[in-house]
Structure 1
């Protein structure tokens, strides 16, 4: 196919099949698929939007043989000759696994879209903070490419979390961008480094402390977030507890990208409410203390004359770990407690707010 933009043609519509033009492997089980319109039509969309592909999957558990899968566009409309998606196969993937194993240049697919409301074009701002994890980096790549191609100096802090450095999708391309424009600041954090490879970046779960180091002016930035729901919930809780204006927070879900504003789900995170009444029962001491939901377990214990050993007081050191036996707390920590301890009922008293009646072994 000739790589020529037909300016006399209309923009691509989903009545025309897309033809796969190129397949570029990225990190493990990940590849970028680039499509063109056989007619030479050009592509018009907003950076951050998605398309839906109709995939001819040949699987016994797929009635009719086809599945529809939605993928964020990783290319930018500033480069209208083609459109690209970057996909990563997860455990149990059907459509994505078929694409990685079978989709080759020259094959044509039915596609629908582009659609979606997740784009910084809808929320213009002077400064942006992109926060992503895993393949949630794809809409951020699209928006960053647009900013790069615009010819104006961007002001983007790009925060991304991955399992290992070798799992960071688009790492080299982003570093090439950042090497030439000081307005793009990259901040990567990983769960663990690759064996026998030095890692000078951040390591560990994204936390309040880490965010403050990565983007000291985060309160001034428009935030866009994409990744698994537990990751995004952690980001929301982190920002809310730091006093961020959540009206300036925008997210895209892995599972169900939103097509219109009317379809956007209401985010109903449980958080302490100013003025709401709670109670903490210190079972080992035989004391009960009324308090507000905005109080921490540590603060209420001190007011009650009880001593819970503590250190940093912001959820980092883990010194104030205590066992919760009843009730629920809202805890936003900075890595001072493991997921296993949380599952076993432990909390950090310094950063846990009681949601109603709570019983702790103190």
Structure 2
């Protein structure tokens, strides 16, 4: 691993997203799953909360593509930052990474962000439930507890198609063998042809939950995976009388309408028949659009590029400063109340009302 050399006499700076990330290692994990390790080009160290994410700018053919990935490393190991990615059918950005990203190459990235972290919901007992590559934030949080020796009772559940597709299996089982505070439970849909399987088999359900963590009502639950999987977990917990105020999930897929409505800031309903105007002050460009258009779509129609990742208010990549006017913004956690108070908006989910000016 070619981590940049540092003299002990040099001051240690914290990476803030301004320096490029240099790929220093590429580690295969499972079929179509790879961990990429990065060091900051300027030698700074990484500080973030376990469970947070970054948005990488990928130089794919046809122009840069922005993709958001949870950090799979832990801040207790600050010299490198890793993301573990799985190429799905039809994926563009992740497939480019698997086929092209090599040690020595450098990428632009946002600083770490996100609120899906055990640091914001401290508890004596946790239940981490994930599927597929949704294991990455759970691994980051678990490793932080393990490295720092913090008292924690963690039941760690991960669901995969088959045993050979379980990500981080050996790493997590090693940690579990060194502490009685971590209990690992694997669930697979089917066994491998030549590998006997003695664990749970089938789809995660209420019966499995009761067997895996009989005291689930006492645990803070974190869940990450495909939306259908998380919906099944939510329904299982609700059906068993779990206090859903203690349930937390992370997803970079479009949230359900019910979840998005929780973040509505007002009762204004944008009207597609009413025109609005967005002035991009830095570029000295003005675009006319409908109220139902977003600031992001107005920028693209005007030939301007605002970096964006998820496009539905989760990742925060498209945060920009609004200097005049009003917008209707329905986000899903990608911006803080403090940012909003300072005039920032998320371009992907902000609809201009009247005349609006932004620093783009």
Q: CA deviation at 1:259?
A: 4.4
CA distance in 2, matches of 1:2, 1:56: 23
Distance in 2 of aligned mates of 1:234 and 1:212: 15
**Does 1:55 find its partner at 2:71?**
no
Superposed displacement of residue 9, structure 1? 2.9
1:22 aligns to what SS in structure 2?
A: strand
Change in Cα spacing, 1:218 to 1:148, as seen in structure 2 (3 Å) is same
Structure of larger gyration radius? 1
After superposition, where does 1:314-329 map in structure 2 within 5 Å?
A: none
Q: Is it true that 1:28 corresponds to 2:84 in the alignment?
A: no
Q: For 2:195, what is the secondary structure of its paired residue? A: coil
Q: Secondary structure at the match of 2:242?
A: coil
Aligned-residue offset at 1:4 = 4.4
What stretches of structure 1 of length at least 5 have no aligned partner? 266-362
Between Structure 1 and Structure 2, how many residues are aligned?
259
Alignment of 1:1-362 (within 5 A): 1-2=3-4, 4=6, 8-58=11-61, 62=62, 65-255=63-253, 256=310, 258-259=314-315, 263-264=331-332
Q: Which runs of 5+ in 2 are unaligned?
A: 254-309, 317-329, 334-360
Q: Residues 151 and 21 (structure 1 numbering): CA distance in 2 closer, same or farther, change over 3 Å?
A: same
Q: Is the 8 A contact 1:18 1:38 kept in 2?
A: yes
Aligned-partner Cα distance in 2 for 1:57–1:242: 46
CA contact (8 A) 2:21 2:108 kept: yes
8 Å contact from structure 2 (residues 25, 37) kept in 1: yes
8 Å CA contact 1:117–1:258 kept in 2: the answer is no
Deviation at 1:40, TM superposition (A): 1.2
| Secondary structure, aligned partner of 2:190 | coil
Aligned residues: CA RMSD: 1.6
**Residues 212, 36 of structure 1: alpha-carbon distance in 2 compared, 3 angstrom cutoff:** same
2:145 and 2:5 mapped to 1: Cα distance?
23
**Secondary structure, counterpart of 2:156 in structure 1:** strand
Q: Distance in 2 between matches of 1:46 and 1:149?
A: 14
CA distance in 2, matches of 1:150, 1:168: 25
Tell me the CA shift for residue 5 of structure 1. Answer: 8.2
**Residue in structure 2 matched with residue 321 of structure 1 by the alignment:** none
Question: How far apart, CA to CA, are the structure 2 residues paired with 1:258 and 1:129?
Answer: 23
2:155 aligned counterpart, secondary structure: strand
Tell me whether 33-42 or 251-260 shows the greater mean CA deviation: 251-260
Give me the whole-angstrom Cα distance separating, in 2, the residues matched to 1:55 and 1:92.
16
Q: Cα offset for 1:66?
A: 1.2
Contact 1:252 1:258 in 2 (8 A): no
TM-score by length of 2: 0.70
